[in-house]
Structure 1
Amino acid sequence: MFSPPGWPDFQLLSGARAFGAYTCDADGIHGMFYDPFASYAHQTHDLDATVHRELGMDELLELLAAGCMVVASVSKKIRRPQLTPPRRGGRLILATGLDDGHIVFRDPSGHTPDTTAAALPAEHFATFFAGRGISIDVSPTGPRRPPPHAAIRRVTS
């Protein structure tokens, strides 16, 4: 899960499960299912969440420039951006903004601090991006604002 400051992972996970965004069985946790997650974000946290089954890079950049965060489907190889991904999609990251042509994102499955909070040039990010996701309007002031990008390390390709 992607935890904004002050929102524990377990609280978000259990809340999202109640809406059907995740399912659990003996093999573990499965999901995230976009429509139930968008409903959860709206009904529980009063966030404007929109599911994008088709999301081009230009639209992704526009959403980020407008102050939205985007839960984006990317290749798991984004953790090792120097490698060419064999496919796009399969992992979710949270794109939090733009910084000088770079997409700033958080990857909760990152294996190092540099891959947990990172930035890639938009054209390189596109090689991992599956073209789908959920935009979340976080434009109101307050705790929903994305964190500053000062701790983000840019990854060069």
Structure 2
Amino acid sequence: MQKQVPYVSQWADPAFNERIAAGMDPCEDPSWTNTGFTDPDDYRFWARRICGLACFQAILGYYGIPALSNKALLARALEENAYRLREDGGVDGLIYDPFLAFVTKDFPLKGQVLRHCDVQQIESVLPEDGFLIWSVSTEIRRPEKKNIRDAGHLILIHAADRNGCRFHNPSGVAPEQADVAMSYDVLERFSSKRGMVIERR
């Protein structure tokens, strides 16, 4: 049976995903302050970088675990070095090992980092009542177009069989936003063969 997993956008309101992805200021979404951010520039900087936290918020929602705001969750992730600010103004992250150490310490969860994992292995590594946070390119939101990257973004895989998987894309646009069904052949184009397994402890 397919899991009923809440969809969480990395921006405030998923109805704005397409416009923000096309270049709209994310602060034009009036609900952006509901994320816990109070400074517009802080929100603009981080909202396009917290795809992994959006995936994690959906996991918390599925398990009924009380969630933090995006800002509060980000603050904890920064404290635990799951994101690292660079001198050039960029960010390294989401860094899997410290992130899993953080979430398994703060929440009743367990997990595993996957490296060099082919997409055809997803069915076997996805727990029945668990998830994969999987590394892909943002270009996966338009799978009909040719892509040039295979990393830099995270999606939440919540179901899989021998033919393909289903996932939520926190920056996705309809019809490639929530409960997206994709064959492994297509997913492979966008995948970097790494991610994290997360499940209830």
- On whether the aligned pair clears a TM of 0.5, the verdict is yes
Q: TM-score range by the shorter chain?
A: 0.7 to 0.9
What stretches of structure 1 of length at least 5 have no aligned partner? 141-157
TM-score by length of 2: 0.60
Bigger fraction of residues in strand? 1
Change (3 A) 1:113 1:13: farther
Per-residue deviation, 1:29: 4.8
Are 1:109 and 2:148 counterparts?
Answer: no
TM-score by length of 1: 0.74
* 1:57 aligned to which of 119, 124, 128: 119
Q: Distance in 1 between matches of 2:171 and 2:89?
A: 18
Change (3 A) 1:100 1:132: closer
What stretches of structure 2 of length at least 5 have no aligned partner? 1-52
The Cα RMSD (Å) is 2.4
Larger Rg: 2
How many pairs does the alignment contain?
A: 138
Bigger fraction of residues in helix? 2
Per-residue deviation, 1:56: 1.7
Q: What does 1:62-101 align with in structure 2 at a 5 Å threshold?
A: 62-64=124-126, 66-98=128-160, 101=163
Q: Distance in 2 between matches of 1:109 and 1:78?
A: 10
Q: What does 1:129-144 align with in structure 2 at a 5 Å threshold?
A: 129-138=191-200
Contact map agreement 2:154 2:169 (CA 8 A) in 1: yes
Are 1:14 and 2:70 counterparts?
Answer: no
> Which whole-Å deviations, capped at 9, do the CAs of 1:92-149 have from their partners, x for residues lacking one?
1111112783411122222x243331221222112211111111124x6xxxxxxxxx
